[in-house]
Amino acid sequence: MKKYSAAVMMIDGFEESETVQIIDLLRRAGVEAHSFRFQEEPFVVGMQNLKVKADKVFSEEVKNYDVIVVPGGRTGAAKFIANEEFMNTLKWFNENNKLIAGMCSGTTVLEAAGVLAGKKATGYTGYEAKLISAEFVHDVAVYDANVVTSQGPATPYPFAFKIMEALGIDGSEIEKRLLCREAGARW
């Protein structure tokens, strides 16, 4: 079985709970998931002012990963969009048909990079007007072509499971252990 890797991005203003849950679930599935920061200081300040230690500094190394993940966080999204090197990396992933995943405000970053064009995507409430190049789908998590998108703060679980699906990983045993369905999960 192939060992997959995920590069999860963290920039000041990222959504902490989304990011940490995504990394946890991907690691449970056997994915080598690393968090990347954009400064030398190892701790990145999230949307709720929590400081989370990132594994690595953003670099060309990210291109060696199977999937790049952009979590939410409104102020973080604006900083991602302003980072030309990062935006070029998203475009490179798209041009090379590598998996790209974005949730909540992260979907606006994917839109700004042009990777949603002509693909089905979902996003946070009201983002239908922001994700104009995509075919907007009112669903919790969507996988189309090389892109996975998800709605928002309450959706890191379906988002992570959709990434697993895109990678060809069966996450059903993990899902059972989490009691997702018994708790009323809607994906």
Q: What digits encode the pLDDT tens for the residues 43-61?
A: 999 999 999 999 999 999 9
pLDDT level of residue 179 (50, 70, 90 thresholds): confident
Q: Which residue has the tokens 């997959």?
A: 4
Q: Which residue has the tokens 């190049």?
A: 133
Q: pLDDT tens digits for 101-127?
A: 999 999 999 999 999 999 999 999 899
User: Average pLDDT for residues 126-130, to the nearest whole number?
Assistant: 94
Mean per-residue pLDDT of the chain: 94
Beta bridge partners of 136: 121
Pairing of strands 135-136, 120-121: parallel
Q: Which residue has the tokens 């990777």?
A: 115
Beta bridge partners of 29: none
Please determine, for residue 154, whether its predicted confidence score (pLDDT) is greater than 90: no
Interior/surface letters 74-101, b for 16+ CB within 10 angstroms, e for the rest: eebbbbbbebeebbebbeebbeeeebbb
More confident: 21 or 2: 21
Query: Nearest 5 degrees, angle CA 104-CA 107-CA 39?
Result: 85
**8 and 73 in contact (C-beta within 8 Å)?**
no
Instruction: Specify the DSSP class assigned to residue 4.
Output: P
- pLDDT of 186 reads 65
Percent of the chain with pLDDT over 70: 95
Q: Where are the domains of the chain?
A: 5-178
Residue type, 127: Y
**48 and 16 in contact (C-beta within 8 Å)?**
yes
Q: What is the pTM of this model?
A: 0.95
Instruction: Specify the DSSP class assigned to residue 3.
Output: P
Report, at the CATH architecture level, how domain 5-178 is classified: 3-Layer(aba) Sandwich (3.40)
